[in-house]
Structure 1
């Protein structure tokens, strides 16, 4: 029962505080799943994030569904998904009906604009953490190369991020495991 409560708390918090949609919720989900409850490590989380980005639909609910299922089966899946979407539904109804009457007020526009830098910083910190972790597994040169190529493909060529992620996943699957190769070389020496 405590596991379901923890799933509810983790995804309710990220759903409540994830202002602006999926990208703003990702660092919050990361904090809950990796730091607070330790259901995954950073590498597993980045794998779930990458796979979730390739699939259609809101990232927060996809991640909640997978993580909930992994932690507590079907009941965990339902708990995590419902706790991640219920806050949004409630807040949409309450805030939209309230803010619609005040939408032209400067304080409402200022409130909305004030959240953007915070979300940007949260995403930047998460990106930096992922870049540092990819340096450990790939090395700086390959990690930065893949970062630049992905950025160019998405921003300059207009390739959908899901397709870029799918290509990188295919590359990783087809690439021989470096750890096994280095172990073979050490064993031969």
Structure 2
């Protein structure tokens, strides 16, 4: 039961604080899943994020569904999805009626504009943490080439990001995986696996 309460807390917090949708919720989910509850590491989280970005729909609910299922089975999936959607439903009911009355108020406009740089900083921190992991994964050279290639494809050539992600997934399936050597120390002897 405690596991389901923790799943609910993790995704409810990220849902209630993720003002602005997916981009602002991703670092919050990362903090809960990797930092607070340690259900996965950075590499596993980046895999879930990459997979979630290839599928249609809101990223927060896709990640919640997968992580909830992985951690707590089918019940974990249901709890995570409810916890992710509940803050939105509650806030929509409470705020939409009053927001229309105050939407032209300079303070309300200032609050909505103040959120943009905060989300930018949160995305920057998450991006920086993934870039630091590039050295152990692809390596700086391959990671830089991939980054520049994706940037040119999306910004200059105006190729849809979904197409770029799809091509990268196909490339990852086709290219051979880099094998890592694991050394095991048994009674003073070192063996490679």
- TM-score tier, shorter chain, comes to over 0.9
Q: CA deviation at 1:135?
A: 2.0
| Greater strand fraction, Structure 1 or Structure 2 | 2
Instruction: Judging by fraction of residues, say which structure has more helix.
Output: 1
- Per the alignment, residue 15 of structure 1 pairs with 15
Question: Does the CA contact (< 8 Å) of 1:54 and 1:161 recur in 2?
Answer: no
Q: Find the counterpart in structure 2 of residue 172 from structure 1.
A: 172
Moved more, 157-166 or 134-143: 157-166
Corresponding pairs, count = 183
Residue of structure 1 equivalent to 2:46: 46
| Alignment pair present for 1:93 and 2:98 | no
**In structure 2, the residue corresponding to 1:57 is in which secondary structure?**
coil
Question: Contact 1:154/1:160 (CA < 8 Å) preserved in 2?
Answer: yes
Contiguous gaps of at least 5 residues in structure 2? 183-193
Q: Greater relative contact order: 1 or 2 (C-alpha under 8 angstroms, separation 6 or more)?
A: 1
Q: Distance in 1 between matches of 2:157 and 2:94?
A: 40
Q: Distance in 2 between matches of 1:163 and 1:41?
A: 27
Note the residue ranges of structure 1 that are not aligned, 5 or more in a row.
184-189
| Cα deviation code 1:4-46 (max 9, x no counterpart) | 0000000000000000001100000000001111111111110
Q: Where has structure 1 moved over 3 Å in runs of 4 or more?
A: none
Question: 1:159 matched to which residue of 2?
Answer: 159
In the other structure, the counterpart of 1:186 is none
Q: Distance in 2 between matches of 1:17 and 1:57?
A: 19
Q: Cα RMSD over matched residues?
A: 1.5
Instruction: Report deviation, 1:163.
Output: 1.9
Taking the TM superposition and a 5 Å limit, the aligned residue runs for 1:1-189 are 1-179=1-179
d(CA) in 1 for partners of 2:160, 2:96: 31
Q: Deviations over 1:68-111 (max 9, x none)?
A: 00011110000000100110111112111111101011001100
| TM-score (normalizing by structure 1) | 0.92
Distance in 1, Cα, partners of 2:10 & 2:106 = 33
